[in-house]
Amino acid sequence: MHTKMNLVKSFWVTIATAALVGCSTLPKVTAETSEKLPSRSADSVMVYGEDKTMPEEARAIGRVKVTDGGMTATYKCLFPNVIALAVKKTAECGGNALQIDRHKNPDLASSCHRIWATMYVLPDSMIKISSKTALQELEERNDAEILARVKGQKLLYEPTYKGPQNIFKAGVGPAWIISDVETAGRIYKSKSGSVLTADYQHIWKSGFGVGLNYMCFDASFDEGFDMKIHYIGPSVLYSYMLNDNWRLEASFGIGYANYSESVTTIEYKYSESHSYIGALSQLGVEYMLSKKVGLGLQVDIFTMRMNEPEGGKYSTEKYDFYGMRRFDTSLGLRFYL
């Protein structure tokens, strides 16, 4: 056991060491020359971009490329560093001018800038020394391109939700229990009732938000008893504006549910209630009549798991669980605070 652990440790140490060594490498510089010349100072090398035309007096002496050396540290792969390596190699080969033929930005294949360039020799009289060299101009243009690209990406992630951020909703409508309900006289495959809803929502500029949901469901059965379910709980939501007037939303929440049954006859009155946990899913669409008021339609799926009574035979393959599932629809007003 100890030997195995030592081998495992040695393996991971080797991997970690290799990773550190790999990360310490520079980008790979490869040069091919057609003639051998004495080296020069790197300060004397002029850099021409892809869009520049070389003077007629320029004489090509070879090509150079700077590519990813493999697991190269990101800061060593920056464009100025890559250009500097190509300039240094050009000077070592005796050139005093470098034209960038091709430049690839970091992508999925590599985190490095990669360049392919041609090395030239120019007459010394054509080498210009100015306060802003061609290399600096190239770096500034590349920085500007990167900035424009970053700004473009930022626009893609800018918040698109420009609707109301604080909303109070009130609605009423029909609802149906879509799970089996067994009474003393029969088994209901579905049972209709009515639902009253009231919700508050706070939405951020991203379109995501939080809410507080309340609903009250009522249903009466032929056997003479009434059912009522109250629900209140928090929710998370997402809202999207189709245009200046139409808004879509979806939410999900878990909260407290109170289930009660009551029977009232001439002879007696009986009621009982139980507390459970309920889950609520909502989809809604609304039309903003003004900046303060809107009209909305909402559909809900409410699920509540209940305690099976003693001696019950409901926990079988026929049923997913013992409890209640309900489908609600409601139409109501929206108030934008």
Compute mean pLDDT per 10 residues along the chain, 337 residues long, and list them. 40 46 68 91 84 87 87 70 88 91 83 90 76 55 61 57 94 93 77 95 94 96 86 97 94 96 79 93 97 97 84 48 89 96
Distance of alpha carbon 240 from alpha carbon 205, whole angstroms: 10
Q: How many angstroms from the chain centroid is the CA of residue 14?
A: 36
Domains of the chain: which residue ranges? 28-155, 161-336
pLDDT at 186: 76
Q: In CATH terms, is domain 161-336 a member of 3.40.50.970?
A: no
Pairing mode of beta strands 59-67, 269-288: unpaired
pLDDT at 182: 75
Which tokens in the block code for residue 147? 């900035």
pLDDT at 18: 45
pLDDT at 143: 62
pLDDT at 3: 36
Is 80 strand, coil or helix?
helix
Which tokens in the block code for residue 249? 């939303």
Q: Which amino acid is at 241?
A: M
Q: Cβ distance 283 to 297 under 8 Å? A: no
Helices and strands per DSSP (H, E), number in the chain = 3, 15
- Listed in order, strand segments (DSSP E) in 68-222 are 97-104, 114-121, 166-177, 181-182, 187-188, 191-203, 208-220
pLDDT at 51: 81
Distance of alpha carbon 259 from alpha carbon 228, whole angstroms: 6
Alpha-carbon dihedral of residues 318, 273, 221, 300, nearest 10 degrees?
A: -70
